[in-house]
Amino acid sequence: MTQPSELREFLRSRRARLTPDDVGLPWRAGSRRVAGLRREELALLAGVSVDYYNRLEQGRARNVSDQVLSAVADALRLDELERAHLFELVKPSGGRVGVRSVRARPAVRMMIEALDPTPAVVHGPRLEVVAINRMGTVLIDDFPAMPVGERNMARWMFLNPKARVVYPDWAVIAEQMVAILRVAGGRDSADPVLGALVAELSAASEEFARYWADYRVFRHTHGSKRFYHEAVGVMAINYETLVPPTDPGMSLILYTADTGSPSEEKLKILSSWGAVDRASRVL
């Protein structure tokens, strides 16, 4: 991945989802060979020259102003996350991770240990699983028992058959995983570790390759998803993502169930089922 190619793919994908009717432009039936807005139409809507927009989409424009980027974002009808992604692609914030290995600080590992029996997982910027407590392994999978190279949520999602059992709504969650990696690519498209992960999964999984080509972006902030465990069946579990301020790229995910719900009772059963060891699993 390179920054210009990421920018080009992103802008093309967003042009492709709009039609002249969507943005109030006239057009003649049968006059279009491809779906979506043409570059010249987008340039007109954004109030820039066609040549300048072409250079922007190709990653060749220099010193692009916030005003121009905002105009392009408005023309493409980008939502808040997509708009932020566009700005990151054009004006990287310098938050590179590069080849640096990611490890959870001891204090973070002790914190998620103390949170047990609440399931907790710490992800790195590329969805590496860098720490997980006892209930996290019960709810999702035993990542510490896996080879080091397999301790990644996206890799697990597409290459480990258990993921399709754990997540009854696998396709929805899998697409979100890919969209999270797209956001990571916007922060640092030259990251060789991320590039290698995307290349591996694109070659090994047609589904990953298809989702990657869709160029969705997603931020895993909060919400609800369904989990399945053979001991208790399906549970509706809420997730909340916390970002440690001194650990850029790290995400702490906490999983809970609604108070008094059947899913809360199932989590309590799982907490007393299986391993007694409460220690977080150091990765």
pLDDT at 19: 81
pLDDT at 38: 86
pLDDT at 99: 44
Q: What is the span of the domain harbouring residue 112?
A: 106-282
Look at residue 210 and tell me if it is in a domain: yes
* 113 in the same domain as 55: no
Tokens representing 70 are: 């905002």
Domain boundary among 90, 123, 149: 90
Q: How far apart are CA 130 and CA 123, in angstroms?
A: 6
pLDDT at 1: 53
What's the total number of domains in the chain?
2
* 237 in the same domain as 115: yes
Q: How far apart are CA 258 and CA 262, in angstroms?
A: 9
* 234 in the same domain as 140: yes
Q: How far apart are CA 215 and CA 153, in angstroms?
A: 19
**CATH assignment at residue 42:** 1.10.260.40
Q: Which residues of the chain have pLDDT under 50?
A: 97-99, 276-280, 282
* 151 in the same domain as 251: yes
Region of 149 (left: φ > 0; alpha: ψ -120 to 50; beta: rest) is alpha
Residue 144: CA atoms inside 13 Å, Cβ hemisphere, count? 15
* 253 in the same domain as 218: yes
Q: Give the pTM.
A: 0.81
78 Cβ contact partners less than 8 Å away, ≥ 6 residues apart: 14, 86
**CATH assignment at residue 241:** 3.30.450.180
Q: How far apart are CA 207 and CA 221, in angstroms?
A: 24
Q: How far apart are CA 159 and CA 170, in angstroms?
A: 12
Domain boundary among 61, 90, 119: 90
Sheet-wide strand order for 222-229: 222-229, 233-242, 251-256, 120-123, 129-132, 281-282
* 42 in the same domain as 131: no
